[in-house]
Amino acid sequence: MVGHLMEAGFSATVFTRTKSKADALISRGAKWADTPKAVAEASDVIFSIVGFPEDVLNVMLGPDGALAGSKSGNILVDMTTSDPSLAVEIYEAAKEKGVYSVDAPVSGGDVGAKNGTLSIMIGGDADVVEALKPCWDAMGQTIVHQGGAGAGQHTKMVNQTLIATNMIGVCEALLYGYKAGLDLPTVMKSVATGAAGSWSLSNLGPRIMDNNFDPGFFVEHFIKDMGIALAEAKKMKLALPGLALAHQLYIGLQAQGHGRDGTHALQLALSQLSGIDWKGR
């Protein structure tokens, strides 16, 4: 994502908790900073994308966080999938300092990030969101302003709820075809472009068939997302039994040692329930 911003002509100052992960960007001209605070001191717009809400809190509002290094007029953009309430907290804290804040979680996985085709769901002030249009265009393909602070995160919860139950369907369907003795790539020709088609089926289905469970998105992060969605649903007195089922299945998958595999590794847990040693194609 940073690479796409640099290709669009923006200069970049970067911080990663593991410095070696920034080597490729530094070799392309990005400058290194030792803390998020130092990034903010050298920047007009500060983007963050980390793992968990507690990471967001530290990177944005901690003593060495981005807000601490921001000056009036700076824009903080958190692209982590995180708590809607935390997005509001950051917005309010930034406002007190004359700094703008936007929550902008993304969907599209590693493929979307690499290809610059992410779906970006944005919460924040309309004029600030519009001012960042060149940045959104560099990283994403579907860019939608959803409303005020926290609206981007709430929209991402809708996205994750859709994915959670859809992934169960993708894995169970491929498991059914496998057990029935069908040729799965041939099955895909019939079902992937019809009413049953989905991004997960088209993009992760082939990985499942290849027995490739490398992460585009970690299981442990997906569990975190579903937990946030279920907590928000509880606040709204909303029953989401399908999401709750998916959450439990993924917790089981994590317990089997697959927390750092991709979300499509659910296939392994469901195969085990039926006593099947999944071999893919």
Instruction: Return the bridge partners of 75, or none.
Output: 45, 100
Structure tokens given for 24: 């490729």
* CA Rg value for the chain: 20
Instruction: Report yes or no: 235 and 221 within 8 Å, Cβ to Cβ.
Output: no
CB 231 within 8 A of CB 224: no
Q: How many CA atoms lie within 13 A of 105 on its CB side?
A: 27
> What's the CA gap between 231 and 10, in Å, rounded?
38
156 is catalytic: yes
Q: Are 222 and 160 in contact (CB under 8 A)?
A: yes
**Helical residues (DSSP H) of the chain, grouped into ranges:** 2-7, 23-27, 36-41, 53-61, 84-96, 109-115, 126-131, 133-139, 151-179, 184-191, 199-209, 219-235, 241-253, 266-273
Exactly one of 37, 156, 224, 234 is catalytic; name it.
Answer: 156
- CA–CA dist 205, 211 (Å, integer): 10
In angstroms, the CA 199 to CA 218 distance is 17
The angle that helices 199-209 and 184-191 make with each other, rounded to 10 degrees, is 170
CA distance 226 to 241: 12
Q: Among all residues, which ones are annotated catalytic?
A: 156
